Structure 1
Amino acid sequence: MDLSAAHWLYALVTALVIVTMLFRKGVVLPTIVGTFLVAWLYKGSLVGGFMAVFNANLVAARELFSIFLIITLMVALLNSLKDIGADQRMIVPIQKVMVNGHIAFFVLMVVTYVISLFFWPTPAVPLICALLVPAAMRAGLPAMGAAMIVAIAGQGMALSSDYIMQIAPMLTATSGGMETVQVADKAMILSIITGVTAVGVAYAMMYKSIAKPNSEEAENAVNLLNAMTADKSVVEAEVSAASELEVYRGRKEIWGKVFAVLVPLSMLAVMIFMFSTKFSDAEAGRFAGGDGAAFIGGVAAVLLILASIAFGRIHALDKIGDHITDGFVFAFRAMGPVIPIAGFFFLGSSDFTGSILSLGEEAAKPAFLFDLVQSAQASIPENAFFSAFGILLVGIITGLDGSGFSGLPLVGALSGAMSGSAGIDPGTLAAIGQMGSVWTGGGTLIAWSSLVAVAGFCGVSVLELARKNFIPVMTGLVVATLAAILFM
């Protein structure tokens, strides 16, 4: 295959993006400049280069807007539950189960995983750390053990599959020209393998340091945690029930109890229904693509309306708008930088280059990344082991920027491009890359990621936490990748 100068420039910018990630710097600037230069060189038009920058961002925003919307609705729902105190009531009964440090370790794992699966770890961490971690520490679990399990179960295990909202697999699959379901199901399996392995190793590391329940050592640890977080207003802002309208206290008490039961049951019903459709004989009845995200988003929107009305009655007309606005702000802060990055890597697929480069219907559509990989197929070993661990390494490198999601368009595009010579299913390859990127940058291994929040709320050193997580997480990633090669 004959490659143009634009192809080689695309390869150079892609390499530059990876190097920039290695130095823990943002890659938005090089991807925007790269989009401009590649388009300018390919079309031979300066104006075409400027247009391509806008079109790439527009195409990426159009493809990814469903992601922003589902984040918005879920965060808005969580904020509405805080208004009536339902967020606390959902957690309080679990505290009674923590009779010793060993049970507390696994209770924290399950609760963190489930809540993070539905609400994402970032909004869930303050709630879990403020209400459950002190109880776990009184039961004898050391602060470092609590921080490790919260990070592994939430930032790693739940976020790497993102099976309910399906934002991560959608980002990965879209860039690789695949259906979301091709990546989502495999990512779910690999995230569980990685998570269970990491949890097992972490528990073995923490076993000897777990103290007796309510011992002097445990109480001292709790007192130290309270002293360290006493001046952190963000903790109270995230986990305390809204008290602005004291006149509604009685109503909040009642509705808090109602929604503390209604929301978990609703989410459980959604999850059961989504799983049941996967075993349905009728193809039309199965969820595909963004159907799962649409379903959970619609349920969240209805629960948001009901919770807002329960809290404010007539004031709900204004309150719900505030919650949705806050949700959009959170969504764009978390995902905004992904748009220009995705726009650049969408140039790697012929599915999007026509729109980005403003090419006519009959014009040839270049696929810069796919063309590069195809031209190099002769020198790429046709070996599933090499391909799987290669894409895992790429995922880990892209996760070094600390976001976990910005590298997903790259691993998705590479997986789609390499599938012909890799000797492994492209969806499986993409899921492996997704594991590497999210587990690394999502908040388990990188000290400058959201792991900072976990460490801060648990009162431990973020550098020490990242160091402690390294062996469990890397062991889990290696085991999961081997399982993917052998069985998927």
Structure 2
Amino acid sequence: MVNITTTHIVYLISIFVIFLFMVFRKDIILPCIAGIFAVAMSQTKNILKSIEILYSSVFVSGKELWQVILIISLIIAMSHALDDIGADVVITKPLLRFLSSPSKTFWIVGIVMMVLSFFLWPSPAVGLIGAVLIGPVLKSGFDELSFASLVTIFGFGAALSGDFFIQGVPSVIAKTLGIPTSKLILSSIPVWGVTSLATIIFFYFVTMKKLKNNRGNKKIYGSNSSEKKIYKESYIISFVAVLFFAIDTFLMYILKIKGNAATALIGGTAIIVLIASTIVQKDFLNKTRDYLKNGFLSGIKTFAPIILISAFFFLGELTTAKEVIGPDAKGYLMDLGIYLSKHIPLNKYTVALMQLLIGILTGLSGSGFSGLPLVGALSKTFAHTLNINSSILASLGEITCIWVGGGTIIPWSVVPVTAVIKVDPDAIVKRNLLPVIIGLTCGYIATVLLL
């Protein structure tokens, strides 16, 4: 029998306060920090110890997430180096002759955006796609709004919600669940596939209908790709970069390289490609430093809030809570879930719906990452209570968080796209809203059937 203590109540109240901040679209870092301190004070009754726990919780959270931050920083640094030598133009140039109609452009650009997002992450990928392909895409019959929506759906929605290659998104959830990232990814594939496919297919018909209605307003645009300096070595480096990452993927499949080993392989390859891209430039020693510095600045900028948010939700898990607070700590969120299950009827339909709603709610902040620790912690709690698959349940929460907050249907989350393709963010959101809702609904149904 679980004993609910005052500290459990303090932790629960803190979660409600965080939810309220999310509902009113306010940043949740301060309430997360306040929640850590309140839980620490309730548990230890010692103000000095509680102040120490504030630091310890952030340290443990950062330690858990460091590898994720590192790989993403290296990927961003590499993508900037490739961009500066014109490798983006070299890689995408063979595609230009195939962009002859809106339908072909939809699938070619969408798939290229998805693949690049898998390997580079969506923000660098949209910079590459936007800079190089905007002219040919618009000449094929697309308008700017359809192009902007296309890259958000395929990149910030489908690719980022899976994140099978870099594994930044699933790593956050897996850390909270206490399971290998590879296990979570395998469990998520059916839910991810149903959600992404339903969204993309519906979005395709919406886009084709809009373009058919706007066909008489087609404009002619030039491409700025010819203005970018391309080194003679860029062709070799572009080929080698694509080849190396293809080999990485092949080796990961054949040799069953997973988890930290897979991340290390990708990170090492990114460093090699980065160095190759800087050596051909003038002042390459300083360039290498600048690329790495900017990459790490981008990585830390993305994940600094997540470290602080995760620090609070990691307290809900027994092992992490003991590491931060001490041997007397409890698994506060886990205990609350067990207690609620004995007083409130829970089943796979209701817990899956809760994951969907929590993912939507946390996504309203405009950061698809902010809700990941919470959906992971709650999935572990519900799975333990109902004896269901925590990975599948967490997958629905993960996918919802990213589709909603990652950069598809929240105006302030599509800024990376509007910075490259000059379109009103509200217009992108309006275009994407119905397809994403349909996709997430299909994902919920798939989750219930799989649980």
Q: Could you state the TM-score of these two structures normalised by the residue count of structure 2?
A: 0.94
Residues 453-482 of structure 1 deviation map (CA, whole Å, 9 limit, x = unaligned): 323433322112112211101111111221
Going from structure 1 to structure 2, the CA distance change for 1:439 and 1:461 (only over 3 Å counts) comes to same
Query: Paired residues, what number?
Result: 450
Contact 1:117 1:162 in 2 (8 A): yes
Going from structure 1 to structure 2, the CA distance change for 1:333 and 1:307 (only over 3 Å counts) comes to same
Q: Equivalent of 2:302, from 331, 334, 344?
A: 334
Give the deviation of 1:94 after TM superposition: 1.3
Going from structure 1 to structure 2, the CA distance change for 1:257 and 1:98 (only over 3 Å counts) comes to same
For residues 297 and 466 of structure 1, what CA distance do their matches in structure 2 show? 34
Give the superposed CA RMSD: 2.1
For residues 150 and 171 of structure 1, what CA distance do their matches in structure 2 show? 24
Contact 2:88 2:132 in 1 (8 A): no
Q: How do 1:276-295 residues align onto structure 2 when only pairs under 5 Å count?
A: 276-277=254-255, 286-295=256-265
Going from structure 1 to structure 2, the CA distance change for 1:462 and 1:165 (only over 3 Å counts) comes to same
Going from structure 1 to structure 2, the CA distance change for 1:456 and 1:218 (only over 3 Å counts) comes to farther
Q: How do 1:59-458 residues align onto structure 2 when only pairs under 5 Å count?
A: 59-210=60-211, 217-219=217-219, 222=221, 253-277=231-255, 286-312=256-282, 315-357=283-325, 359=326, 363-422=327-386, 424-449=388-413, 451-458=414-421
Q: Equivalent of 1:484, from 442, 447, 450?
A: 447
Going from structure 1 to structure 2, the CA distance change for 1:212 and 1:27 (only over 3 Å counts) comes to closer
Contact 1:69 1:328 in 2 (8 A): yes
Residues 110-134 of structure 1 deviation map (CA, whole Å, 9 limit, x = unaligned): 0110001111111221221222233
For residues 429 and 241 of structure 1, what CA distance do their matches in structure 2 show? 48
Contact 2:237 2:276 in 1 (8 A): no
Provide structure 1 residue ranges, at least 5 long, that are not aligned to the other structure.
227-235, 244-251, 278-285
For residues 388 and 434 of structure 2, what CA distance do their matches in structure 1 show? 27
For residues 290 and 365 of structure 2, what CA distance do their matches in structure 1 show? 31
1:21 matched to which residue of 2?
A: 22
Provide structure 2 residue ranges, at least 5 long, that are not aligned to the other structure.
none
For residues 423 and 485 of structure 1, what CA distance do their matches in structure 2 show? 14
For residues 233 and 173 of structure 2, what CA distance do their matches in structure 1 show? 40
Q: Could you state the TM-score of these two structures normalised by the residue count of structure 1?
A: 0.88
Q: Secondary structure at the match of 1:336?
A: helix
For residues 387 and 205 of structure 2, what CA distance do their matches in structure 1 show? 36
Give the deviation of 1:240 after TM superposition: 8.8
1:459 lines up with 2:422 in the alignment: yes
Contact 2:366 2:406 in 1 (8 A): yes
Going from structure 1 to structure 2, the CA distance change for 1:383 and 1:124 (only over 3 Å counts) comes to same
Residues 148-167 of structure 1 deviation map (CA, whole Å, 9 limit, x = unaligned): 21101000011111111111
Residues 60-97 of structure 1 deviation map (CA, whole Å, 9 limit, x = unaligned): 11111101110111111112212321122111221211
Give the deviation of 1:302 after TM superposition: 1.5
For residues 92 and 187 of structure 1, what CA distance do their matches in structure 2 show? 34
For residues 140 and 242 of structure 1, what CA distance do their matches in structure 2 show? 25
Residues 194-236 of structure 1 deviation map (CA, whole Å, 9 limit, x = unaligned): 22211111111122333599x763225x48xx9xxxxxxxxx8
